[in-house]
Amino acid sequence: MPGAPHTPRVYFTTLAVVPFVPGATLVTNILVVDDSATIRRMVRAALQPVAEAQFVEAETGLEAIERLAFAPVGLIVLDLNMPDMHGLEVLRFVRAHATYRGIPVLVLTTRGDDASRGAALAAGATAYLTKPFAPAALAAEARRLLERGGVGAGR
């Protein structure tokens, strides 16, 4: 192998294939958006107790929007600071289009970042939670938002 770099390219796509029946509370998809694989895993683990939940993950804002187009999502857990597209952009996109407007969005903010929190609520976040979050708190918030469904406080 004289110097030629070889990087194993293995990509796993997780597509949730769930029939969407309006009105019936079957299994619901939770979209977890964070550029850190570790945080995504933590969120999933924290939300395990939420019985009806299946998970869709996105590493970037663009990917999150792509996922939205192909899987019916009952809740978005959204990190704000992401490399390619800031979480606020994703939020604005979601609120700007009728198809997605009604999806509750739970925003994860970093401790001490009050400005972002305010901006998130102004942009239409349904609720927020600061990192580090207690898993029980995240699960409780998620359940609450899933039951309520519907639009965030800001709009």
Positions that interact with another protein (CB under 8 A): 1-13, 15, 35-39, 41-42, 45-46, 59-63, 65-66, 68-70, 81, 83-86, 89, 93, 97, 99, 110-111, 131-137
Q: Shortest approach of another protein to residue 2 CB, angstroms?
A: 7
Helices (DSSP H) in 48-102: which residue ranges? 61-70, 87-96, 98-101
Report d(CA 128, CA 130) in Å as an integer. Answer: 7
Which C-beta is closer to another protein: that of 25 or that of 84?
84
Which C-beta is closer to another protein: that of 135 or that of 154?
135
Q: Shortest approach of another protein to residue 71 CB, angstroms?
A: 10
Which C-beta is closer to another protein: that of 20 or that of 25?
20
**Those residues with Cβ within 8 angstroms of residue 42's Cβ, 6 or more apart along the chain or in another chain:** 135
What's the DSSP call for residue 21? -
Q: Shortest approach of another protein to residue 90 CB, angstroms?
A: 9
Q: Shortest approach of another protein to residue 41 CB, angstroms?
A: 6
Which C-beta is closer to another protein: that of 25 or that of 32?
32
Q: Shortest approach of another protein to residue 40 CB, angstroms?
A: 10
Contact status, residue 18 vs residue 71, Cβ threshold 8 Å: yes
> What residues are paired with 106 via a beta bridge?
77, 127
Tally of CB atoms within 10 A around 99: 9
Question: Long-range pairs for 94-98 at CB < 8 Å and ≥24 separation?
Answer: 94/68, 94/124, 95/123, 95/124, 95/152, 95/155
Which C-beta is closer to another protein: that of 62 or that of 121?
62
